[in-house]
Amino acid sequence: DMKVTQMPRYLIKRMGENVLLECGQDMSHETMYWYRQDPGLGLQLIYISYDVDSNSEGDIPKGYRVSRKKREHFSLILDSAKTNQTSVYFCASSLSAETLYFGSGTRLTVL
């Protein structure tokens, strides 16, 4: 069963705190993505990872960093979270970019 799992589903943090969003996939896909979704803005690419320790900035990487130490696991880190990072974050994986498999998202609120 092809699955992308995101944890946690909901997260509330205070401004300045560190945030760790985790994503796992069971399809052995090499490529993984982090997007954020905001009302009226669609899906914006934060980072893309081509494999373990092979990461590339997307369109809005500022304020974020990522870690991929195992092929099946991709983390998004917010060092000192800001209120404008309140959003829904989606992780996805793909074999060829022709089909992205998305997780159910993490709704992050930064107070």
Partner 1 sequence: QQQVRQSPQSLTVWEGETAILNCSYENSAFDYFPWYQQFPGEGPALLIAIRSVSDKKEDGRFTIFFNKREKKLSLHITDSQPGDSATYFCAAYTNAYKVIFGKGTHLHVLP
User: What is the rounded CA–CA span in Å between residue 53 and residue 104?
Assistant: 24
97 is a contact residue toward partner 1 (CB under 8 A): yes
Nearer to partner 1 (CB atom), residue 65 or residue 107:
107
Contact 47, 63 (CB under 8 A): no
Q: Which of 11, 13, 27, 45 binds partner 1 (CB under 8 A)?
A: 45
User: What is the rounded CA–CA span in Å between residue 27 and residue 16?
Assistant: 35
> What are the residues binding partner 1 (CB under 8 A)?
4, 31, 33, 35, 40-45, 48, 50, 56, 58-59, 90, 92, 94, 96-100, 102-105
